[in-house]
């Protein structure tokens, strides 16, 4: 009888342990899937930013007027009818690029010899969309914003960088330091050319021109992705969230 | 009966403990395995992310070694090897001639042979085969050199090889001269691509563009293949007069240039002294109206030598506010902020950097008329019976004796150039620029000439040209290439 009692106790503990572990395992699996999705997304974004502006205009003789689709007029395109001659101001007049929207102009697959593409990343709700216009429009004055908006497909889901008020409250309760001052976290943070070092593209740089909120003079983009797993932690009930950060650096010239 | 039954029951239960123990053991094992699997997956994912980034930066490190070793001022310049691995800047590396910088691991030892296309273990350069089929023909055109440690005693980043080669349109998939717009099947090959200072070109240009490709491979299998197209860049200094004196332009704070009557041999001549002359420039250039008034009044009659200041237009004394400038100047010589930003560019590209005060004894012995150098003096410089060649930038003041001179460009930003002593015969051939740069503001500059004053300043486009050597290889484009 004593042995049986001990056995039942051991089994109870073991099953409880198993249950806890299984919950933990399932939660971690979901978190890992989320992590993996976010990681792949971040990896691709950073790679596209690194390659932005390829091939630059300097690859073609200065006395020629090449087809617009054969070169990148700017590493990062902007929306509106002033592309590619009169840039908007990041943080003020730009519809894109902004904190949650970026159009990269580059030949993402030069080995396929299919011209320069516009690659757009845009957060709508809690889904980060990606769209590729291949090749980019061959008219020199087309609007990259309107021409890519219909090509967006879901890329990373449950992106919580710019959550609703209710979501933000729940996330802040679980992760107090994730949203400083209770503000949304930009996916794209832009840094512009300046001396002696790049500065945030908010018009506060010092030194000689160029101006500091000009998409043509962005030299690096810090990418932050906050992604929530589809289900909460089975043990604590708290939302499962991963935050990844990477930095893309433009190497190609900006002319 | 009772006894037998009891015995049977005890016999049936005798294996239960073992089964239960095994069962519990199984549970514990399942739990352990599940935990290990979870943490293992996490470690794996994090590791992949890290290695992807690490291989990217390792490949970038390789590209930078290749780019740095193209410059003659680099201690490990490829042209310093015996025999030189790369021809001097200004001569052409033919298509099909390759330089590989290899960087194999020493522990455990490995073989890096990018030309061995049949052996994936030696990191074959399949990309070159795509660009220039058939690759490596003849093999004698391939030069393989060793990487050098960027930090003494420390292993380099994990790039395996760096390739440097000339390019044609096919190699970069760009119709450089736009002969067949948008047609990827009509590239001009094999025709070497050059660099005109701002763009690639198939026309004649003094320098060629080069391709640098780097493969990085980490022990976990992560690989990255990155590529630059680079071209040598020279300083684009706007030369707009034989002697330019740039003041702030404010009233009462003007340039001073008043050679004494005894400066009989001192001339400033804006007529090009080169054997294939360019159009004449003003003899004396100023950058604002107040300086013009001041300098013109100083030099005109009753000064006995107003005809010593000659140049474009032919009037005496020849003083003008010039506006000749290259299309993309490195510096705006009238803008103090631009001048301030210009200094580190020169310093980084200089052959010699000296902290002043210095004298002619500190000038590099390798500097000759056939080997003009860029000399950057951070402070004052005094030259006694000395002639230099190339580009001289002095952040302080310049003092020189009348038998001294310079062939090339002289830029003095300390505010004062002083010719001293009774010697004579030295001259400045090229161009001289004088300003008084204090922080990011301009003060009043002064050019002081003694008696007899030396021969003065003569515009010479040949010496100007020879003094503006490439200071670096500029990145013209960058891309990541899939590596199989």
Give yes or no for residue B438 having a pLDDT over 80.
yes
pLDDT tens digits along A172-212: 999 999 999 999 999 999 999 887 788 888 776 665 556 77
Give yes or no for residue A113 having a pLDDT over 70.
yes
Query: Does residue B296 share a domain with residue B419?
Result: yes
Query: Does residue B192 share a domain with residue B276?
Result: no
Stretch among A12-26, A135-149, A218-232 having the lowest mean pLDDT: A12-26
Mean pLDDT of B313-323: 82
Q: Give the best residue of A4, A22, A56, A72 to mutate against chain B (max B CB count within 10 A).
A: A56
**Cβ contacts (< 8 Å) between B184 and chain A: which residues?**
113
Answer yes or no: is A254 within a domain. no
Q: Are B257 and B245 in contact (CB under 8 A)?
A: yes
**pLDDT at position A1:** 75
C-beta pairs of A201-204 under 8 Å, 24+ apart in sequence: A201/A90, A201/A91, A202/A90, A202/A91, A203/A89, A203/A91, A203/A92
**pLDDT at position B1:** 45
Report the number of secondary-structure helices (H) and strands (E) in chain B: 7, 27
**pLDDT at position B76:** 93
Query: Does residue B298 share a domain with residue B221?
Result: no
- Looking at chain A from residue 95 to 124, which residues have their Cβ under 8 Å from any Cβ of chain B? 107, 110-111, 113, 115
Answer yes or no: is A16 within a domain. yes
β B309-310/B267-269 pair status? parallel
**pLDDT at position B12:** 61
Query: Does residue B179 share a domain with residue B76?
Result: yes
Give yes or no for residue B212 having a pLDDT over 90.
yes
**Cβ contacts (< 8 Å) between B45 and chain A: which residues?**
32, 35-36, 39
| Stronger pLDDT, B479 or B316, i.e. the higher one | B479
**pLDDT at position B30:** 66
Give yes or no for residue B4 having a pLDDT over 60.
no
pLDDT tens digits along A234-253: 878 889 999 999 999 999 98
Mean pLDDT of B346-368: 93
**pLDDT at position B40:** 53
| Stronger pLDDT, B431 or A206, i.e. the higher one | B431
pLDDT tens digits along B130-152: 888 777 778 889 999 999 976 77
Give yes or no for residue B327 having a pLDDT over 80.
no
**pLDDT at position A33:** 84
pLDDT tens digits along B378-411: 999 999 999 999 999 999 999 999 999 999 999 9
**In this prediction, what percent of chain B has a pLDDT beyond 90?**
56
**pLDDT at position A209:** 58
Answer yes or no: is B219 within a domain. yes
Asked if A58 lies within 8 A of B42 by C-beta distance, the reply is no
**pLDDT at position A223:** 96
Q: Which domain holds residue A115?
A: 2-249
Å from A245 to nearest chain B CA? 11
Answer yes or no: is B29 within a domain. no
Of the candidates B68, B163, B56, the one whose C-alpha atom is nearest the C-alpha of residue B112 is: B163
| pLDDT band with cut points at 50, 70 and 90 for residue B310 | very high
Query: Can you tell me the distance from the alpha carbon of B383 to that of B105, in angstroms, rounded to the nearest whole number?
Result: 51
**pLDDT at position B467:** 92
Of the candidates B218, B199, B201, the one whose C-alpha atom is nearest the C-alpha of residue B157 is: B218
Query: Does residue B207 share a domain with residue B247?
Result: no
Report the domain count for chain B. Answer: 2
Average pLDDT, chain B: 88
Query: Does residue B265 share a domain with residue B170?
Result: no
Query: Does residue B282 share a domain with residue B212?
Result: no
Report the domain count for chain A. Answer: 1
Mean pLDDT of A74-85: 90
Mean pLDDT of B266-278: 95
Q: Which domain holds residue B347?
A: 243-467
Query: Does residue B248 share a domain with residue B200?
Result: no
Query: Does residue B166 share a domain with residue B130?
Result: yes
Answer yes or no: is B17 within a domain. no
**pLDDT at position A29:** 79
Query: Does residue B437 share a domain with residue B331?
Result: yes
Query: Does residue B331 share a domain with residue B229?
Result: no
Å from A18 to nearest chain B CA? 6
| pLDDT band with cut points at 50, 70 and 90 for residue B372 | very high
Q: Give the best residue of B45, B131, B199, B333 to mutate against chain A (max A CB count within 10 A).
A: B199
Number of Cα atoms under 13 Å in the Cβ half of residue A4: 2
Query: Does residue B100 share a domain with residue B215?
Result: yes
Query: Can you tell me the distance from the alpha carbon of B14 to that of B483, in angstroms, rounded to the nearest whole number?
Result: 64
Give yes or no for residue B13 having a pLDDT over 70.
no
**pLDDT at position A58:** 94
Give yes or no for residue B2 having a pLDDT over 50.
no
pLDDT tens digits along B21-56: 777 677 667 666 656 655 555 555 556 667 888 999
- Tell me which residue has tokens 């004494």: B260
Which sign, positive or negative, has the C-alpha torsion A154, A158, A161, A165?
positive
Asked if A59 lies within 8 A of B201 by C-beta distance, the reply is no
């Amino acid at each position: 009888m004593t042995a049986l009692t001990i056995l039942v106790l051991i089994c109870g503990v073991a099953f409880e342990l198993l249950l806890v572990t299984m919950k933990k395992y399932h939660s971690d699996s979901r978190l890992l899937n989320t992590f993996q999705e976010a990681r792949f997304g971040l990896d691709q974004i950073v790679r596209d930013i690194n390659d932005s502006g390829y091939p630059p205009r300097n690859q073609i003789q200065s006395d020629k007027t090449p087809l617009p689709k054969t070169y990148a007029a700017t590493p990062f395109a902007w929306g509106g009818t002033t592309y590619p001659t009169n840039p908007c101001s990041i943080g003020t007049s730009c519809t894109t690029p902004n904190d949650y929207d970026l159009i990269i102009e580059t030949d993402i697959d030069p080995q396929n010899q299919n011209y320069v593409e516009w690659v757009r990343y845009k957060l709508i709700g809690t889904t980060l969309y990606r769209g590729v216009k291949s090749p980019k429009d061959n008219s020199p004055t087309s609007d990259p914003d309107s021409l890519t908006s219909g090509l967006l497909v879901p890329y990373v889901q449950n992106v919580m960088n710019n959550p609703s008020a209710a979501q933000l409250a729940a996330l802040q309760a679980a992760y107090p330091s994730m949203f400083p001052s209770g503000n949304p976290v930009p996916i794209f943070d832009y840094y512009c050319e300046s001396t002696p070092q790049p500065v945030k593209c908010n018009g506060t740089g010092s030194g000689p021109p160029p101006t500091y909120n000009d998409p043509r003079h962005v030299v690096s983009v810090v990418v932050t992705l906050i992604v929530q797993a589809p289900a909460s932690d089975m043990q604590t009930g708290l939302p499962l969230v991963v935050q990844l950060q990477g930095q893309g650096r433009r190497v190609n010239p900006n002319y | 009966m009772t006894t037998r039954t009891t015995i049977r029951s005890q016999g049936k239960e005798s294996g239960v403990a073992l089964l239960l123990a095994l069962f519990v053991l199984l549970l514990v094992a399942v739990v352990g395995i599940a935990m290990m699997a979870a943490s293992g997956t996490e470690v794996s994912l994090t590791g992949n992310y890290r290695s992807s980034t690490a291989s990217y930066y390792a490949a970038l490190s390789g590209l930078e070694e290749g780019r740095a070793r193209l410059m003659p001022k680099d201690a490990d310049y490829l042209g310093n090897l015996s025999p030189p691995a790369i021809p001097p800047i200004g001569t052409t590396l033919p298509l099909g001639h390759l330089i590989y910088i290899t960087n194999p691991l020493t522990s455990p030892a490995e073989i890096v042979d990018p030309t061995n296309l049949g052996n994936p273990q030696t990191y074959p350069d399949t990309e070159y085969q795509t660009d220039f089929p058939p690759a490596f023909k003849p093999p004698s055109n391939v030069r393989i050199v060793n990487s050098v440690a960027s930090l003494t005693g420390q292993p380099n980043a994990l790039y395996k090889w760096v390739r440097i080669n000339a390019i044609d349109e096919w190699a970069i998939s760009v119709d450089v001269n736009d002969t067949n717009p948008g047609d990827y099947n009509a590239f001009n090959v094999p025709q070497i691509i050059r660099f005109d200072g701002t763009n690639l070109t198939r026309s004649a240009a003094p320098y060629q563009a080069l391709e640098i490709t780097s493969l990085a491979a980490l022990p976990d299998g992560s690989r990255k293949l990155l590529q630059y197209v680079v071209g040598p860049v020279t300083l684009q200094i706007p030369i707009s007069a034989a002697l330019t004196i740039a003041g702030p332009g404010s009233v009462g704070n003007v340039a001073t240039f008043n050679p004494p009557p005894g400066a009989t041999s001192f001339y400033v001549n804006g007529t090009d002294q080169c054997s294939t002359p360019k159009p004449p420039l003003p003899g004396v250039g100023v950058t604002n109206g107040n300086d013009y008034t001041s300098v013109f009044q100083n030099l005109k009659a009753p000064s006995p030598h107003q005809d010593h200041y000659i140049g474009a237009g032919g009037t005496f004394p020849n003083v003008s506010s010039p506006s000749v400038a290259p299309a993309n100047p490195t510096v705006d010589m009238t803008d103090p902020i631009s001048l301030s930003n210009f200094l580190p560019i020169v310093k980084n590209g200089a052959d010699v950097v000296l902290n002043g005060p210095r004298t002619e004894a500190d000038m590099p012995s390798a500097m000759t008329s056939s080997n003009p150098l860029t000399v950057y003096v951070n402070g004052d410089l005094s030259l006694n019976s000395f002639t230099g060649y190339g580009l001289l930038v002095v952040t302080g003041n310049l003092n020189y004796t009348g038998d001294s001179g310079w062939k090339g460009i002289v830029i003095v930003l300390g505010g004062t150039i002083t010719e001293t002593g009774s010697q004579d015969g030295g001259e400045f051939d090229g161009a001289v620029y004088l300003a008084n740069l204090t922080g990011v503001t301009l003060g009043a500059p002064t050019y002081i000439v003694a008696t007899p004053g030396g021969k003065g300043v003569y515009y010479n486009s040949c010496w100007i040209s020879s003094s503006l050597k490439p200071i670096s290889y500029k990145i013209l484009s960058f891309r990541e290439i899939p590596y199989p």
